Amino acid sequence: MTQTATEKRNNQSRYIPPEQTEALRRTVPDDPVKLPPGSLACEGCGVAVPTARPTTSVTPSTVTSLPAKPVQFARCDSCKAVQQQAEDYVTAHPALAARIGTIAVERVESVLFGLAIIGQEATGDLGFLLPRLHPAAHGVRFANPLSLTRDLCSPYAWSHVTLSQRAELKKAYAAALRDRLSLSAPPVALRCPSGGCLFCGVASVPRAAIQVARGGGAQAATASVWRPVLVSPNGLGAKGPSNIAGHVCPDCNAAIEDAGAVGWPARAQAVVTYVGRENRAKAERLRAMLADDFPPQLPAWGAFNLRPNARPWDHLRRVIDRI
């Protein structure tokens, strides 16, 4: 029987060389195998290490069906090298160690393990990958107390890592790459959902693009930056029967929290803080005026029907300039 040209092409394209099959196989999970005699499983990647000397022993979590007796593990050469790399990195980045403390090495190591599992090079700033990759990588070790086995090992490195764990790692890595791009992006203006801060009247608050990306995007960042409030007109320095719904910016929110309520003391504090950023002496003069018998009332932006302010408290610009 003769093959048509299309059939020949199809047969050729179905052929995968053995070394490629092997490489592909290592990107998907596989069942554990019996631990060879005189070996311990590697605590990281799970392969059998021909040694009787454990590097660590882990007690199974009560969620597993294993008896509480600790399981012993060793470290293969490649996972030993990862540990060294993590230690070197933390030594070279004392700020990271100061920030996250004694678990810094373990976290960096998890990131390195995560990169190895998804076949990515451990180049660039690991501290930068850490916030995204560590949550996805922290449960991948073979010695994870939640998924511990006894007398078993992985047939090849990381074969115990599930497809969903691999997918999470890839997703986290992609997010970290997007973070890197946002480092060079301009700040994001997070717009007030109700037009302007009820107190100072600014329409938007700038935030670094990386902060917005790590916070889950502009929508999530807006929700965390702008606090919704329902206030009495009196609290804004206005008159009227019904409460006013709106939002306040983080600076004004801090003043409200300090004062304990929306009202004149909070407005006064918010204006003093704002003026103090431009001119300390002026802020002191304002503070003295506020302590007088007839202090300025400093009505909030929400007391009027105005367009949003380009700068905080611009509707009080004439008062502020005269201080």
Chain residues in the site for Zn ion (CB under 5 A): 42, 44-45, 76, 79, 197, 199-200, 249, 252
Query: Minimum CB separation from Zn ion for residue 84, in Å?
Result: 13
Contact present, 215 and 188 (Cβ < 8 Å) = no
**What b/e string do you get for 146-161 counting C-beta neighbours within 10 Å, with b at 16 or more?**
ebbbeebbbbebbbbb
Contact present, 61 and 143 (Cβ < 8 Å) = no
Q: Identify which of residues 176 and 248 has a Cβ nearer to Zn ion in the complex.
A: 248
Q: Identify which of residues 44 and 60 has a Cβ nearer to Zn ion in the complex.
A: 44
Which tokens belong to 131? 């916030």
Q: Could you tell me the CA-to-CA distances from 233 to 193, 228, 301, 317 in Å, in that order?
A: 20, 15, 11, 21
The residue written with tokens 């300025």 in the block is: 296
Q: Could you tell me the CA-to-CA distances from 176 to 127, 132, 173, 184, 255 in Å, in that order?
A: 11, 6, 5, 14, 35
DSSP E strand stretches across the chain:
33-34, 40-42, 48-49, 56-58, 71-74, 152-153, 188-191, 204-207, 227-231, 244-248
Q: Identify which of residues 127 and 312 has a Cβ nearer to Zn ion in the complex.
A: 312
DSSP assignments along 120-181, one per residue: ----S-HHHHHHHHHHHHTT-STT-GGG--SSEE-SSTTTTS-HHHHHHHHHHHHHHHHHHH
Query: Minimum CB separation from Zn ion for residue 53, in Å?
Result: 15
Query: Minimum CB separation from Zn ion for residue 263, in Å?
Result: 15
Query: Minimum CB separation from Zn ion for residue 154, in Å?
Result: 9
Q: Identify which of residues 205 and 210 has a Cβ nearer to Zn ion in the complex.
A: 205
* HEC assignment per residue over 226-243: CEEEEECHHHHCCCCCCC
Q: Identify which of residues 203 and 218 has a Cβ nearer to Zn ion in the complex.
A: 203
Query: Minimum CB separation from Zn ion for residue 59, in Å?
Result: 20
SS3 205: strand
Query: Minimum CB separation from Zn ion for residue 48, in Å?
Result: 10
Q: Identify which of residues 89 and 199 has a Cβ nearer to Zn ion in the complex.
A: 199
Q: Identify which of residues 137 and 210 has a Cβ nearer to Zn ion in the complex.
A: 137
Query: Minimum CB separation from Zn ion for residue 123, in Å?
Result: 21
Q: Identify which of residues 85 and 182 has a Cβ nearer to Zn ion in the complex.
A: 85
Query: Minimum CB separation from Zn ion for residue 9, in Å?
Result: 42
